[in-house]
Amino acid sequence: MKLAKLLPLIISDKERHAKWLNTLSLMENTGARKISACEDPLTVTYIVLKHAAEEHRHAFYLKKQVEKTGDSLCPTYQPAYLLAPTQSRYYLNQLDIDVCRYLKNELGVKGQELRFAAYLLVTYAIEVRADELYPLYQEALEKAGSRVNVKSIILEEEGHLEEMISQLKNFAAEWQLHAGKAVELESRLFSGWIEALAADLSLQ
C-alpha cells in the first residue's frame, strides 16, 4: 500500500480528513517535544531553538486546519480523534529507541552526547520523510480542491533538512553512513504505519 493511494480516500471524507490532520499534528507535536527534550540548557543553539519552535508551529497549524474540514472537530489527541492511534504514537518513539540502540552499539556514546546524536539522526530521517510526505499531501489536496493547505510547512521542512545536514557534517565525518542507517530504520517503521493507516481506513 502506498500513501499516494490512501490520500484521496482520506481527503474525500471530512471526518477521516480531520483525523488525519489531527494525527499529523500529534506527530509534529511529538517531534517538537523530543527536540525540546534533548536541548542542552547551556549549549543549545539558534538552529535547535528555531527547529523546536517551527515543529511546535506545525502541530498548531495542522490542528487549525481541522476547522476547514467542516464541523468534525478533533479537540484532543485521544485515540478516538486519530487515525491508527497506536501506530501513530509508536512510530516516532520506536525510531528514537532504534536509533539510540544503533548509536550505543556503533559509536559507544552515552548521556547528553547520545541525546544530541539521536536528535541529529532521528530528525534527519524524519525530515527526509517530511520532504516526501507533505508535497504528496499538498498535491492530493489540490487535486481534490480542498481548502486545506500545507505549503508553509513544506517550505520550513525543506529548510530543516538542510539544517540537519549541516549539523550532521559537524558531528561526524562519516555522517552519511549513520544518516543512511537512520533512514533505513525509519523506512521500516513508516511502512508499518502506512499498513496500520490502510487497515484503519478500511474499518471506518
Nearer to Fe ion, 130 or 201 (CB): 130
Stretch that binds Fe ion, among 55-63, 83-91, 136-144, 184-192 (CB under 5 A): 55-63
As a whole number of Å, the end-to-end CA separation of the chain is: 17
Residue 129 sits in the site that holds Fe ion (CB under 5 A) = no
Residue 178 sits in the site that holds Fe ion (CB under 5 A) = no
Nearer to Fe ion, 15 or 171 (CB): 171
**Cell of residue 68, nine digits:** 476547514
Nearer to Fe ion, 17 or 34 (CB): 34
**Cell of residue 203, nine digits:** 474499518
183-191 long-range contacts (CB < 8 A, ≥24 apart) are 183/124, 183/125, 183/128, 185/95, 185/98, 185/99, 185/102, 185/125, 186/95, 186/125, 186/126, 186/128, 186/129, 189/90, 189/91, 189/94, 189/95, 189/98, 190/91, 190/129
- Number of residues in contact with Fe ion under rule CB under 5 A: 5
Residue 34 sits in the site that holds Fe ion (CB under 5 A) = no
Site string for Fe ion, 130-169 (x = CB under 5 A): ---------------------------x--x---------
Contacting residues toward Fe ion, per CB under 5 A: 28, 55, 58, 157, 160
